[in-house]
Amino acid sequence: MTSVNTNLAKPGVPKFKVKNLRLVLTEKRVETENVMTFYFQLECEDGSTFRHHPGQSISLNIPLLGENLIRTFTIASSPEGNGCIALTVKAAETGHATRYMHDQLHVGATIMARGPLGDFSLVFHPHQPLLLVGAGSGMTPVMSMLRWLHQRKEPVDVVLVQQASRPSDLLFGDELQEIGAAMPNLKHFDCVSRVPQGQAWSGVRGRLQRPGMRALIPDLGRRTVFCCGPQGFTESIQAIHRAEGGLREAFQTETFGGSAELVVDTSVKPQANTGAGYQVDIDGHHFFAEPTQNLVDAAALSGIRIPTSCREGNCGTCKLKLVSGEIDMAHQGGLSNKEEQQGYVLACSSKAKSDLVVTRK
């Protein structure tokens, strides 16, 4: 998963410490032809109790090709897990790690991990009414938040929208019906991009557009939105929300899909160079970074969003290739030794010591 997280933890909400974890696989459950849920018994290496907020992620050290590949997945289960967590994982066509998990990771296997990671959670934005939107694997943080609301019997005004390619790709159908029956203030809509010939479908057809969203959710503009999915999808939903009067700060998003493209907001005036900063070139886009700023924060001040999730050097999402220049990096395990030797750096944990050329490619 590649994430662009626009959130920072709010004062008064505990931010749980990232811990070293030991996971033992207890069950694998097929969801669709390329999606599987993995259930793990979890222990913290320091003997403490693992705690996380709904929507947060965890990074796994997956043993493959002679090294530990670090991959980050959202925890799909509610925080009320009693020492167990669930990860719902799509086996990507080019995803060696996810394919390994589907095909070769067997019940009883042990995996080391770190977490929790990220701030994509409604606990940091406790505002109503809510709109939860997920596309594909982006349903996992959405489902974690909905499960949490359901377990707590929260009387929340919430709309859930799931976008999938085909009806057979929709996730959590039976469970969503059960939750819907127990949450009278929940409205749930399933949308599919296409329906195979000869197959019946009574839900919404096509990709979500503004007229359809307005028809489904007349008060869209006043809702706090949590949206997760491919980059183009989340950008489209955000544009619709803004067009309907929604505030920028009321739209929280994570994106995935491995896109190497940056998100560049040309409406943001670039950060001025104070004379002490360094110029950074990232795939043809330029910004200045002060010696005290990490590259993620410096880029953001010039309207350039580098995909990131944990912001703590754990998950590896903000990985860049250093082409030239010097950096000061202090990550927390988000890169393997091999990746460091190959010249990769983590933008959230790196500060410029000279002018830099870096790339996401």
**What average pLDDT does range 246-266 have in this prediction?**
74
- Write down the pLDDT at residue 268: 79
- For the chain, the structural domain boundaries read 19-117, 122-256, 264-359
Secondary element (H or E) of residue 284: none
Equal fold, 19-117 vs 122-256: no
Q: Is residue 2's pLDDT more than 80?
A: no
pTM, 2 dp: 0.77
CATH class of the domain defined by 122-256: alpha beta
CATH class of the domain defined by 264-359: alpha beta
**How many CB atoms within 10 Å of residue 329?**
19
Q: Is residue 337's pLDDT more than 80?
A: no
**What average pLDDT does range 295-311 have in this prediction?**
84
Reported as a pLDDT band with limits 50, 70 and 90, residue 85 is very high
Token output for 74:
């959202």
DSSP letter string, 180-214: HHH-TTEEEEEEES---TT----SEESS--HHHHH
- The CATH H-level superfamily of 19-117 is Translation factors (2.40.30.10)
DSSP-derived pairing of the beta strands 319-324 and 356-359 = antiparallel
What is the distance between the alpha carbons of residues 246 and 243, in angstroms, rounded to a whole number? Answer: 7
Reported as a pLDDT band with limits 50, 70 and 90, residue 189 is very high
DSSP letter string, 292-308: TSBHHHHHHTTTEE--B
Say how many residues make up the chain: 361
DSSP, collapsed to helix, strand or coil, labels residue 14 as: coil
